[in-house]
Amino acid sequence: MPFDFLQDKSILITGGTGSFGQRCVEILLNETQAKRVIIFSRDELKQSQMQMRLSDPNGRLRFFIGDVRDRERLERAFWGVDYVIHAAALKQVPALEYNPFEAVKTNILGTQNVINAAIDQDVRKVMLVSTDKAANPANLYGATKLCAERLVISSNVYAPRDKTRLSVVRYGNVLGSRGSLLRVIEVQRQTGRITLTHEAMTRFWITLTQGVHFVLGSLERMQGGEIFIPKIPSMRVKEFIQLVAPECRLDVVGIRPGEKLHEVLITPEEARRAREFDSFFVILPESEDPWFEAEAYQDGKPAQDGWHFASHTNAEWLDETHLKSLLETI
């Protein structure tokens, strides 16, 4: 069985009723022998619906109502937990531009609370789920996620050497998640017209299942302080829409505030510390901390000077066949 490291362990997902959290819980229940799978979120309705939908004959599921803004509640929820996947965040770009203080409270201060609670409760490993919006951010959401990344990476210095370790996973657009382009297309195609912000726009693409498997695999191999990036393909948004809804007319409306033409997963500055493996990249910590064994990544290929991992210069591109095969797995 994959992910044997979770056998008889307790794992908690903040934001566990979100798209990532729900798929993660399904995979943990079906593909691992984790002792406890804990959903931590603030939406009791979604928790109730999730509880009714999921099969849990062995009684492994636990549900905690709480907010990452509440450190005391996190302290209680993290008691006896081995692994934490921190996926809770406010993510809607336009809403966060209009409500900036709320973005800071959840995405930054909430992450600080997760870190402190994990260290105080001797959680073994914490993995932050981040986004390509955090690399060279162009909007408040991306800036808060970049700050959350830096908090997680740097906080390893606060933890005892043989206790809590913290790392980051960063990836691109998720096919089929709530608020994703697919959901927008489903709504707009009923009108026969779909909005496109720019004909040259490109994005990275990954499915929910691929994202969860990558997070769990990275959780197993992490030492603390790394940023893990999967090798995922790119596609022009225009081509994506034309393949998914070929019958619809495209209306070009212009790039929205805070939106990039192309996304970046590894910046040129980060590339100096990046190592390439068959299916992923890892950005090593800037400082040589005593707990970190760099030789664990010595087989990785160093990045070339000036290289960066961007959606428009990606070596791997989605074609129609590959996209359809991905959509069938959603």
Among residues 91, 125, 133, 145, the one annotated as catalytic is: 133
Contact 103, 116 (CB under 8 A): no
Rounded Cα distance between 266 and 256, Å, is 23
133 carries an active-site annotation: yes
Among 162, 67, 65, 170, CA closest to 119: 162
Return the beta strands (E) in 248-305 as ranges. Answer: 249-252, 264-266, 274-276, 280-283, 301-302
Rounded Cα distance between 43 and 90, Å, is 13
Contact 253, 198 (CB under 8 A): no
At how many degrees (to 10) do helices 237-244 and 320-327 cross?
A: 60
Classify residue 80 as left (phi > 0), alpha (psi -120 to 50) or beta.
left
Strands 227-230 and 280-283: antiparallel
What are the backbone dihedrals phi and psi of residue 47, each rounded to the nearest 5 degrees, phi first?
Answer: -65, -45
Which residues belong to the active site? 133
